[in-house]
């Protein structure tokens, strides 16, 4: 049974490649330049990217679900637009696509840190979340355990993150705090859910990800421990190119109104999230 559950998450990485081909708009999305609201509205299409996982964007048969997918669809519908969404596992590639103009918005929760504000324009906060350490529960004999009971014990160990993850900034800060090296392995071919499953079944020992995604997998993967936070709870937002100021205003104006609606509250409850 456990092996079957693990396969459900690992197969996402394999099915993602095929699914992406089917989900991409015809003709693909060529790199152009960042667009702003006038050009987006006149094209009738909003180009977005997010991570492919069961919490954000998940295709099953003919249906697509996910918190960020549904929220983006609500915005597009309210403005008479078609949302063209390309799932991308790598955080780094999502930001590259935004900078190159292939995407108008990264519709995925990004922590609104000072460092990231230098290169991105963030919407008003959409989520509250924090980064946590994913490891296996401590069941080994004394002296043989890989379990990390304190962040100090991460010294000299290797943690895995999604390629380009904002968690990397926090890990470097943690290195300064503990006065030792924490080795970072960036995984380009896997998303957050796959990293959690790899930890659960012993392929890797430690991963860093957002608490809400890890918590959504905990029932199916009871061998994981997600109790160790590596940072404080913080705001998470969508991001647009810094040149897309009118798009940012449109998103913020809509969010300010939408977050007060019954429809929005229902959406947040559906995915176990809290309106910030």
CB atoms within 10 A of CB 30: 8
Strand partners, 186: 161
Q: Domain for residue 12, yes or no? A: no
Give the CATH number, domain containing residue 49: 3.40.190.10
Verify that 150 and 121 share a domain, yes or no: no
In a 13 Å sphere around the CA of 190, the CA atoms on its Cβ side amount to 22
Query: What does the pLDDT look like over 218-239, one tens digit per residue?
Result: 999 999 999 999 999 999 999 9
Verify that 79 and 202 share a domain, yes or no: no
As for how many domains the chain has, the answer is 2
Q: Which domain holds residue 159?
A: 131-229
Verify that 45 and 71 share a domain, yes or no: yes
Distances (CA, A) of 11 to 14, 196, 198, 215, 261: 5, 13, 12, 19, 36
Tell me whether strands 127-129 and 131-136 are parallel, antiparallel or unpaired: unpaired
User: Which distant-in-sequence residues (6+ apart) come within 8 Å of 168 by Cβ?
Assistant: 161, 184, 186
Query: What does the pLDDT look like over 85-137, one tens digit per residue?
Result: 999 999 999 999 999 999 999 999 999 988 889 899 999 999 999 999 999 99
Q: Domain for residue 1, yes or no? A: no
Tell me whether strands 158-162 and 127-129 are parallel, antiparallel or unpaired: unpaired
Task: Give the tokens for residue 151.
Answer: 């962040």
Verify that 118 and 145 share a domain, yes or no: no
Return the pLDDT at 33. Answer: 87
- pLDDT higher than threshold 80 for residue 32: no
- For residue 273, which of 220, 227, 228, 236 has the smallest C-alpha distance? 236
Q: Domain for residue 19, yes or no? A: no
Verify that 94 and 221 share a domain, yes or no: no
Number of helices and strands (H, E) in the chain?
10, 13
Verify that 37 and 98 share a domain, yes or no: yes
Return the pLDDT at 189. Answer: 86
Verify that 143 and 223 share a domain, yes or no: yes
Q: Domain for residue 6, yes or no? A: no
Q: Domain for residue 185, yes or no? A: yes
């Amino acid at each position: 049974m456990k092996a079957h559950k693990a396969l459900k998450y690992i197969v996402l990485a394999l099915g993602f490649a095929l699914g992406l081909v089917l989900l991409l708009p015809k003709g693909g999305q060529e790199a152009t330049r960042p667009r702003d609201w006038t050009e987006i509205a006149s094209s009738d299409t909003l180009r977005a990217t997010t991570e492919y996982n069961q919490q954000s964007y998940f295709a099953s048969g003919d249906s697509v679900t996910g918190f960020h997918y549904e929220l983006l669809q609500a915005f597009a519908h309210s403005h008479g637009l078609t949302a063209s969404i390309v799932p991308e596992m790598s955080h780094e590639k999502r930001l590259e696509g935004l900078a190159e103009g292939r995407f108008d918005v990264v519709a995925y929760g990004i922590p609104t840190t000072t460092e990231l504000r230098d290169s991105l324009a963030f919407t008003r906060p959409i989520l509250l979340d924090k980064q946590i350490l994913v490891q296996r529960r401590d069941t080994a004999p004394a002296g043989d355990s890989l379990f990390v009971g304190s962040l100090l014990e991460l010294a000299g160990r290797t943690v895995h993150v999604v390629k380009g993850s904002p968690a990397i900034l926090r890990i470097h800060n943690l290195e300064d705090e503990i006065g030792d090296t924490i080795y970072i392995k960036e995984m380009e071919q896997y998303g957050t859910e796959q990293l959690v499953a790899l930890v659960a079944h012993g392929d890797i020992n430690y991963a860093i990800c957002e608490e809400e995604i890890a918590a959504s997998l905990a029932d199916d993967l009871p061998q994981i421990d997600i109790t160790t936070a590596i940072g404080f709870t913080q705001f998470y937002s969508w991001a647009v190119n810094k040149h897309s100021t009118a798009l940012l205003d449109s998103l913020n104006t809509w969010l300010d109104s939408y977050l007060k609606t019954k429809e929005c509250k229902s959406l947040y409850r559906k995915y176990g999230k809290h309106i910030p």
